[in-house]
Amino acid sequence: MTDVGPTESQTNREDRYAELAVRVGANVQPGQLVDVIARIEHAPVARAVTREAYKAGASYVDVYYTDQHIRRAMIQGAADEMLSWTPPWLLNRAKQVGDERAAVVALTGDAEPNLLADLPGDRVGKARMLELAEESNRQINEQLNNWTVIGVPNVGWAQQMFGEPDLERLWQAVEYTVRLNEDDPVAAWRAHVARIGKRASALNDLQVDEIHFKGPGTDLRVGLLPESRWQGCESLTADGIPYVANMPTEEVFTTPDLRRAEGFVRSTRPLALYGRIVKGLEVRFEGGRIVDVKADEGADVVKAQIETDETAAYLGEIALVDGTSRIGQTGLTFFDTLFDENTTCHVAYGGAYAEAVEGGVIEGVNVSNVHTDFMVGGPQVDVDAVTRSGIVVPLLRDDVWQLPE
Amino acid sequence: MTDVGPTESQTNREDRYAELAVRVGANVQPGQLVDVIARIEHAPVARAVTREAYKAGASYVDVYYTDQHIRRAMIQGAADEMLSWTPPWLLNRAKQVGDERAAVVALTGDAEPNLLADLPGDRVGKARMLELAEESNRQINEQLNNWTVIGVPNVGWAQQMFGEPDLERLWQAVEYTVRLNEDDPVAAWRAHVARIGKRASALNDLQVDEIHFKGPGTDLRVGLLPESRWQGCESLTADGIPYVANMPTEEVFTTPDLRRAEGFVRSTRPLALYGRIVKGLEVRFEGGRIVDVKADEGADVVKAQIETDETAAYLGEIALVDGTSRIGQTGLTFFDTLFDENTTCHVAYGGAYAEAVEGGVIEGVNVSNVHTDFMVGGPQVDVDAVTRSGIVVPLLRDDVWQLPE
């Protein structure tokens, strides 16, 4: 039993963080319904986000708390057919979030990253609310909501990262990555959004047809669609509200042609996936499809996941990050995709972001209930672009961005 | 930020408690959907209840966590018309709990009893999801669900009770009141249910027309309906599933005729109400209606509450408890109605329990979205029954039950 109330100093820290998430991240508009998704361990920040959202003029803030222990009990105790069931009221809730064009603030940061480690991997992989994931994908692809995801420091996460529960160190790392250490974090974000936006523009000007990753255990070519567009930090809803979907974010990303991935790739970072840690992941692609999965640990979770639907085993995202990113600069592995994907280049199998394609969900764009990023970049991995006219342009060497900025 | 994971010894304690709530309280049936309602501070017990419910054969356990800090932010930040709004998806959830004939386990035990104390009482009183309360009342009156309410010890609650965060002492008190200190708590509950059931039978045999409370500051007569039936610990769903709706419970209770309450009454215990503590409550009735409310603290919350709907200011329950109850024996004030109402006699303004009336919701039975118990009994308060033939029968003197047992 615990007291989850914040102390005075936590309040200040959490309020500043919440303000950034509400004003810059989700960019909550006056009169908007706000949906907050949090684990119970995130309560201090969920509460601060709620207060800041009302300050920004939210009409109502609905907080949905989840608990991994409840999920663990379900995986252990429920019948097979219930593993992927969506309670109808949760689907109803998700639909209302879309219909109302709500702002969404999702909190991540696993308090017990190994909680599901002793459970059968196939059950863990299947335990996902499929209808809810479909609805969520639809809303993202139709760009209905201004949303953001932020990470909430907690003791268990700090333990996972540092081998000791050094919560203060984790807070400082997170504050650095989201620019809360700046005197004016909002201004710092504006400058950052502009810089990464320029990088996306340069890639779009290049007319990239293919990205080639080459390094130890990796020789992977990923083809783009003629309609693929590189994106920076900022997104726009269908109604024209700008928002920053991830904090931190350092990537430029786009949607590949799901039919065009050839070769093999070795993941360069461990991957926290559904309460398991996948280590030493190696994946082989043929004709866009994952045809072989190996790992030192956790291959079963990945294998179960890519069988979830017809295109789960195909790529849906490709993202480039250089070594100058604030997350990379910390030298830390966060064991959380929100952070680790911003240390280095990554690809994701599963559903694509339609906003990164001119024309949205066209042929070649992956629509899937899965979206799992895994890290493939690093100092030893060269990244080249091949343009539509066949010119090879180096993009990253030794983690350094090669295009002029 | 806190680690809400249970320690090994807590696990045992919480598992035993959860087993009692699942097997004896809600009496979860194989294949049933189970709805758990908890505050985030109750997570260790909510988790244990979930595990025990799956062991009992639950098809799915859905846990809905609430957080009083989110409620506080809403009361401070939302527009007037949103205070009593029910998010449609929550109403949808409640309806499915009824439609599916789910088992329900509700957890109470306020971690920060004074959290709303500095907010305007009228807003606190109005901040209640009206549509949800209506739906919940309907389900209780139609006896759709087998349900139970238990209290979850936590640091804030212990602080409120003892002036220090003595969680162990609170756990031991709670374990005593719910008979978890017995070698075989289930057998102890069977004996207890039988004893209180006999008391209810005796009162039904008496054909009580009126209950008269008389003591310092109190002279109140409450009339019953000819169809009023006294009830003990055990209830039955419409489908015939027995359950114990409150743990602990020591009361025999019935539904009065809402038109028949005359006189005045002084509450004998403080009352925790919507995050406020009401102290020194004095209420006067005329023709069944509350016509005057005074209190040393918190009268505004009561006043706002009884204006919520047309019959909120009328009685809906009358309950008799003698001084031999385990809760009374602890000598403690729990500042939680689930416990304090079982120390001594009480009445409730607001909605009645239709199960305590032959014929259900007939004329004279209160249907209201409010149901607030307040304590009116004690060693100095004499309680008499007046039978339909006009005989006065002493029921309680000096907190001692006067009928043969």
Neighbours of A76 (CB within 10 A): 16
Number of domains in chain A: 2
- Map A93-150 to HEC letters: HHHHHHHCCCEEEEEECCCCCCCCCCCCHHHHHHCCCHHHHHHHHHHHHCCCCCEEEE
Residue B235 · residue B141 · CB < 8 Å: no
Assess B61–A contact: CB distance below 8 Å, yes or no: yes
A82 touches chain B (CB under 8 A): yes
Is residue B186 a part of any domain in this protein?
no
Do B61 and A44 count as a contact with CB atoms less than 8 A apart? no
**pLDDT on residue B372:** 95
B8-20 vs B167-177: helix axis angle to the nearest 10? 30
> B143: which 2 tokens?
């006896």
For the purposes of burial, counting CB atoms within 10 Å of the CB of A389, is it exposed (0-12), middle (13-18) or buried (19 or more)?
exposed
Q: Which residues pair with B106 in a beta bridge?
A: B37, B149
Q: What are phi and psi of B310, to 5 degrees?
A: -65, -30
Do B173 and B226 sit in the same domain of this protein?
Answer: no
The SS3 call for residue A321 is coil
Would you call A198 an interface residue with chain B, using a CB distance cutoff of 8 Å? no
Task: Determine the Cα–Cα distance for residues A46 and B70; give it in Å rounded to an integer.
Answer: 8
All residues at 6 or more sequence positions from A256 whose CB lies less than 8 Å from its CB, including other chains = A211, A222, A223, A224, A225, A228, A315, A316, A317, A318, A347, A352
* Nearest in space to A153 (alpha carbons), one of A106, A111, A104: A111
Which residues in chain B touch residue A46, judged by CB atoms under 8 angstroms apart?
A: 67, 70
State which of A211-225, A354-368, B106-120, B335-349 shows the largest mean pLDDT: A211-225
* Residue A28, amino acid: V
Quote the radius of gyration of chain A (alpha carbons, Å): 20
Domain match, A24 and A81 both: yes
Q: Is B205 helix (H, G, I), strand (E, B) or coil?
A: helix
B241/B148 Cα distance (integer angstroms):
13
Distance between CA atoms of residues A64 and A56, nearest Å:
20
Instruction: Answer yes or no: are the C-beta atoms of B299 and B221 closer than 8 Å.
Output: no
Phi first, then psi: what are they for B208, rounded to 5°? Answer: -70, 135
Round to whole Å and give the CA distance between A326 and A179. Answer: 9
Per-residue model confidence (pLDDT) at position A37: 98
CB A126 within 8 A of CB A169: no
Q: Please indicate, yes or no, whether residues A173 and A203 belong to a single structural domain of this protein.
A: no
Here the CATH number for the domain that contains residue A118 is: 3.40.1830.10
- Which amino acid is located at B88 in the chain? P
Using 50, 70 and 90 to split pLDDT, how confident is the model at A1?
very low
Domain shared by A167 and A32, yes or no? yes
- Specify the pLDDT at position A221: 98
Is residue A168 domain-shared with residue A214, that is, in the same domain?
no
Amino acid residing at B137: N
The torsion region of residue B321 among left (phi > 0), alpha (psi -120 to 50) and beta comes to beta
B35-66 per-residue burial string, b: 16 or more CB within 10 A, e: under 16: bbbbbbbbbbbbbbbbbbbbbbebbbbbbbbe
Q: What is the mean pLDDT of residues A86-108?
A: 96
Judged by CB atoms closer than 8 Å, whether chains meet at B155 and A1 is answered as yes
- Residue of A1, A2, A82 for testing the chain B interface, max B β-carbons within 10 Å: A1
A205 exposed, middle or buried (CB, 10 Å; 0-12, 13-18, 19+)? Answer: exposed
Which of B353, B156, B342, B374 minimizes the C-alpha distance to B247? B342
Radius of gyration of chain B (CA): 20
Residue pair B156/B111 in contact (Cβ under 8 Å)? The answer is yes
Per-residue model confidence (pLDDT) at position A7: 46
Per-residue model confidence as pLDDT tens digits over A244-296: 999 999 999 999 999 999 999 999 988 888 778 899 999 999 999 999 999 99
- Among chain A residues, the shortest Cα distance to B54 is held by A77
pLDDT tens per residue across span B94-148: 999 999 999 999 999 999 988 998 999 889 888 989 999 989 988 988 899 999 9
Residue located via tokens 């996948």: A278
User: What pLDDT score was predicted for residue A276?
Assistant: 80
| Within a domain: B194 | no
Question: What pLDDT shows up at residue A328?
Answer: 87
Question: Is residue A215 in some structural domain?
Answer: yes
Residue A1 lies in a domain: no
Residue A207 covered by a domain: yes
Judge contact between B358 and B322, C-beta under 8 A.
no
ipTM above 0.90, yes or no: no
Q: What is the mean pLDDT of chain A?
A: 93
C-alpha dihedral (A26, A31, A32, A38), degrees to nearest 10? 80
A140, A143, A147, A151 alpha-carbon torsion, rounded to 10°: 30
Residue B329's domain comprises 199-233+249-401
**Residue A244 resides in a domain:** no
Name the residue among B16, B381, B355, B367 with its Cα closest to residue B182. B16
- How far apart CA B136 and CA B149 sit, in angstroms, is 14
Query: Which residue's structure tokens are 């043929």?
Result: A286
Q: Is the domain of A261 the same as that of A323? A: yes
Give CA–CA dist B313/B315, Å, rounded: 7
Q: Are residues B134 and B208 in the same domain?
A: no
Contact A47 B62 (CB under 8 A): no
Tell whether B173 and B203 lie within a shared domain.
no
Question: B40 φ, ψ to 5°?
Answer: -60, -30
Taking residues A211-231, what's their average pLDDT? 97
DSSP reduced 3-state for A216: coil
Whole-number pLDDT of residue B8: 42
Residue A81 has pLDDT above 60, yes or no: yes
Question: Is A63 in contact with B63 (Cβ distance < 8 A)?
Answer: no
Q: Who has greater pLDDT, A122 or A55?
A: A55
Please check whether residue A264 lies inside any domain of the structure.
Answer: yes
Q: Do the beta carbons of residue B192 and residue B233 sit within 8 Å?
A: yes
Q: What is the pLDDT of residues B333-379, one digit of tens each?
A: 898 889 988 989 999 999 999 889 999 899 999 999 899 999 999 99
Q: Write out the DSSP string of B28-68.
A: PPTT-EEEEEEEGGGHHHHHHHHHHHHHTT-SEEEEEEE-H
Same domain, B17 and B135: yes
Q: Which tokens go with A229?
A: 């567009």
Kindly state whether residues A220 and A287 are assigned to the same domain.
Answer: yes
- Chain A, 115-174: which have a CB under 8 Å from a chain B CB? 152-156, 167
Three-class SS of residue A328?
A: helix
pLDDT of residue B5: 44
CA distance A205 to chain B (A): 46
- pLDDT at position B9 is 46
Give the model's pLDDT for residue A113.
84
Chain A contact set for B76 (CB, 8 A): 51, 54
- Omega before A248 within 30 of 0, i.e. cis: yes
A54, A65, A156 member nearest B76 (Cβ) = A54
Distance CA(A328)–CA(B354), nearest Å, equals 64
For residue A402, give the 3-state DSSP assignment.
Answer: coil
Say yes or no for a CB contact (<8 Å) between B54 and A69.
Answer: no
Q: What tokens appear for A374 in the block? A: 């895994």
Residue A278 located in a structural domain = yes
For chain B, 405 residues long, the average pLDDT of each consecutive 10-residue run is: 42 90 97 98 97 98 97 97 96 96 96 89 87 90 94 95 96 96 92 93 96 98 97 93 95 97 95 85 98 95 92 97 90 89 94 91 93 94 97 96 89
Q: Judge if A276 and A150 occupy the same domain.
A: no
Q: Are strands B242-244 and B234-236 parallel, antiparallel or unpaired?
A: antiparallel
Q: Are residues B255 and B337 in the same domain?
A: yes
Look up the pTM and report it.
Answer: 0.87
- Give residue A4's pLDDT: 40
Interface of A with B in 266-295 (CB under 8 A): none
Per-residue pLDDT of A120-146, as tens digits, reads 988 988 898 999 998 998 898 889 999
CA distance B121 to chain A (A): 20
Query: Which tokens is A162 given?
Result: 């540092």
